[in-house]
Structure 1
Amino acid sequence: MPYVSGQPGDAWGAEAAQHGGTGTQRLVEAGEVPASAAVADALGLDAGEPVILRRRVMLLDDHPVELVESYYPPALARGTRLAEPRKIRGGAVALLAELGHQPQRVREDVVARLATAEEQSELHLDDPACVLQLSRVLFDQDGVAVEASVMTMVAEGRRLRYELTP
């Protein structure tokens, strides 16, 4: 059964509130799936090896604005809340730190492209429509990839801001 989150302390909810909106998220799927070639490459695995997937839909004022798929190596995620179909209090990154995988570095790639028919349907977009796709790999203190996420976002009205500290 999917959860819907928007309680205080939820990072997406807090960000949306700063901009005068209500941000919630719906967990669509959590479980083990075979890794695609891209996910396997990001996590240092072989294509087809099992990974733990958490798939969510991010909503702004009850309208879907982002599709998120986060993948975790099974050796790290099996038997943890990452593999369960429920909210992770404090979020997955905080749980990774609790599990001894302190986030240290992030690599992101952003591309703009036309939305697929499925994305148009899930995000309630016209045909044709553009989306932004952000692929993120999170590395721990030992340089091990512990999370690979793909975020497909409604492009209209979206701004990505990065601040880097040397």
Structure 2
Amino acid sequence: MPPTWTSTSAHYVTPRTGQRDAWTEDTAQRGHAGTNRLLEVAETTPPTGVADALQVPAGEPVVVRRRLVELDGRPIELADSYYPVSIARGTGLAEHRKIRGGAPTLLAELGHAPHQVEEEVTARPSTGQERELLDLEDGEPVLVLERLVRDADGQPVEVSVMTMAAEGRRLRYELSA
């Protein structure tokens, strides 16, 4: 059973120039080892919901970065992040390598600093592939967090779909009005 993990979103969308990515740093501060294993970086036709959120015309490709997130060597989350090719093509977002400081840092360097974030969380039964990759039992549910990030001009710059083992997970939100 994974340790109970409380996750807040704000520092995961904040640029971190010259630092490690937020997940690695967050887990280290709590006495754990966290990493992202990059599974795929490619141009692809996005799912309809992602294309709509990014305001990408039907059939137009986007860049996807698929990662397996691990905590203390145990897989706990599948994270797929999508970017418009007009922003990502020819940059580190489209390369099969980790990005120092994470994608928010690179987006900021490219002139698209995260400004507005929308998140939606749902729960559902896990699929066969998710059970295999996340080492879940039949019938175990997953939480799916979908995040849309816009820059200061309101342009959608990233959509992330994070599918996580529900057991031991707590999501915490802090808002300023």
TM-score (norm. length: structure 2): 0.87
**Paired residue for 2:102?**
91
Q: How does 1:1-166 map to 2 (within 5 A)?
A: 9-166=20-177
**Do the aligned residues in 1 keep the contact of 2:20 with 2:102 (CA within 8 Å)?**
no
Superposed CA RMSD: 1.0
RCO greater where, 1 or 2, for CA within 8 Å and sep 6 or more? 2
TM-score (norm. length: structure 1): 0.93
Return the alpha-carbon distance in structure 2 between the equivalents of residues 16 and 89 of structure 1. 16
Corresponding residue SS for 1:97: helix
Return the alpha-carbon distance in structure 1 between the equivalents of residues 107 and 96 of structure 2. 17
**Do the aligned residues in 2 keep the contact of 1:37 with 1:46 (CA within 8 Å)?**
no
CA positional deviation for 1:49: 1.3
State the number of aligned residues. 159
Structure 1 gaps of 5+ residues are: 1-7
Structure 2 gaps of 5+ residues are: 1-18
Residues 56-79 of structure 1, C-alpha deviations (whole Å, 9 max, x = no match): 000011110000000000011100
Corresponding residue SS for 1:103: coil
Letter in 2 for 1:154: A
Q: After alignment, is 74-83 or 39-48 more displaced? A: 39-48
Percentage of pairs with the same residue = 57
Return the alpha-carbon distance in structure 2 between the equivalents of residues 48 and 115 of structure 1. 28
Runs of 4+ in 1 over 3 A off after TM superposition: none
